[in-house]
Each structure stands twice: as C-alpha cells, then as structure tokens.
C-alpha cells in the first residue's frame, strides 16, 4: 500500500514561492510512489486558540471551524510537507493559527497522557519548506524551533528543511532551478527513506539558489 503525503500551503497569496516549492516536493513524493494531497489554508476559516483550557480536560479543541478537518488529514497522513513564507522572522499568520490550535494535541499527549493519533499510521514524519524575501538568515532559526515543537505535538518525526532567502515576488522561485530541484529531491527522500534521520536534513539556499549548504 502506498504512503500518503499531505502538503499544507500556508501562504495567503496565489503564485506564492513556498507553494510552488511545495508542489515540487509533492511531485517528488509521487515519483517515489506516494499518493499526495495539496491543501491550502488560504480561504479556510481557522480561528485563533481561545486559551479556554477545555482541551486540557478532553484533548479536543472545542472551537468549531475548519481546523478539525485539517487536523484529521494531518493525523491520517504518513508524511507531511509544511510550507510557509517568512513574515517578521516567523511563520505566516495562517500557519501560526493552525499550529496554535494544536494545543489540544499537546494537552492530549502531556496532560492527559493519551496517544495523539491512536488510529494513525506509525512512523510519521514531516518536511518544512520556508521562503523569505530578505537577506537575513536568522529568520529560519525561529521557523525551525516552532516546527520542532509543532511536530512533537503531532507525534511526527522531523525529517528535514528547505530554507530559501532573497526570493520575494510572486513566482520568482521559478527562476531558481536549484531550489525547485531540491524541493523535488526532498519530497522523494521523505517517502523513500526507511527511517527519520537522527537530525533533520537542512538545505539552505542563501543568496544564490545554485550554491546550497547542506
């Protein structure tokens, strides 16, 4: 049975660079034999965490909106590719809304001592794609730290990162063939690898997409 790979695009705009890289990663996953699904948060209704404390008693978020459908897809997928633009040195607001709502998973795991996804597939793992427009490099440190704890709440192994800076205009990433190729390679590797690495593989394309540091 083939693995399922869910790609989550968190950019608020069409033709976003992070989304184009996400689609390349999903193409790589398909080439490795996986079934893929592309899911955009653009247009979905996901409210912020209300910090009401209900999930500490039930392990379930009581706020009713599109979050629950997205959560079900995340927990059912064998692999996850999470793509975000970088805004003010962090993940996008749309990404952060989804992440914060997963407080219920943290409560389920650490407060209630319950399995996060008792019926989900074993050995789940995830890949991060982040694109920033500035010359800065430290912006990806905050992204990586946020995703580390997000994946922990999801009970999902952290497989790798693709970080690209100095790409800003809609669709500009098409002019960076190395970034597109790395996205496809990582998507394929996410499916093909028999186990998550001890440390996430991180590909950084800083200044020139043709000169990566791995």
Residue 133 is predicted with a pLDDT of: 87
CATH class of residue range 4-43+77-92+124-205: alpha beta
The residues near 57 (Cβ < 8 Å, ≥ 6 apart) are none
Distance of CA 21 to the CA centre of its chain: 12
Rg (CA), the chain: 16
Residue 113 is predicted with a pLDDT of: 95
Buried-exposed string 114-143: b where 16+ CB fall within 10 A, e elsewhere: eebbeebeeebbbbbbbbbbeeeeebbeeb
Domain boundaries, the chain: 4-43+77-92+124-205
Residue (of 102, 98, 209) closest to 162 by Cα position: 209
Taking the whole predicted model, whether its pTM rises above 0.85 is answered as: yes
Ranges of residues in the chain whose predicted pLDDT is under 70: 1, 208-214
Residue 2 is predicted with a pLDDT of: 86
3-class DSSP assignment, residue 206? coil
CA–CA separation, 27 vs 12, rounded Å?
A: 22
The residues near 149 (Cβ < 8 Å, ≥ 6 apart) are none
Residue 49 is predicted with a pLDDT of: 94
Per residue in 43-87, pLDDT (tens digit) is 999 999 999 999 999 999 999 999 999 999 999 999 999 999 999
- Say which DSSP state 174 is in: G
DSSP 87-112: ETTEE-HHHHHHHHHTHHHHIIIIIS
Please tell me the chain's helix, strand, coil percentages from 3-state DSSP, rounded to the nearest 5: 40, 20, 40
């Amino acid at each position: 049975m083939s693995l399922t790979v869910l790609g989550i695009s968190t950019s608020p705009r069409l033709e976003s660079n992070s989304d184009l890289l996400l689609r390349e990663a999903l193409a790589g996953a398909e080439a490795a034999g996986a079934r893929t699904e592309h899911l955009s948060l653009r247009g979905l209704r996901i409210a912020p965490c209300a910090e009401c404390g209900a999930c500490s008693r039930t392990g379930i978020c009581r706020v009713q909106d599109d979050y629950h459908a997205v959560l079900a897809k995340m927990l059912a997928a064998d692999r996850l590719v999470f793509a975000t633009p970088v805004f003010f040195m962090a993940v996008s607001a749309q990404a952060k809304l989804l992440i914060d709502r997963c407080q219920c998973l943290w409560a389920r795991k650490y407060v209630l001592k319950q399995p996060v996804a008792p019926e989900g597939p074993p050995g789940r793992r995830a890949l991060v794609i982040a694109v920033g427009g500035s010359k800065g490099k430290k912006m990806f440190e905050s992204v990586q730290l946020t995703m580390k704890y997000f994946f922990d709440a999801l009970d999902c192994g952290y497989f790798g990162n693709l970080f690209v800076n100095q790409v800003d205009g809609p669709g500009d990433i098409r002019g960076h063939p190395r970034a597109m190729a790395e996205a496809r390679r990582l998507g394929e590797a996410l499916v093909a690898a028999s186990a998550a690495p001890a440390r996430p593989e991180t590909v950084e394309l800083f200044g020139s997409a043709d000169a990566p540091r791995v």
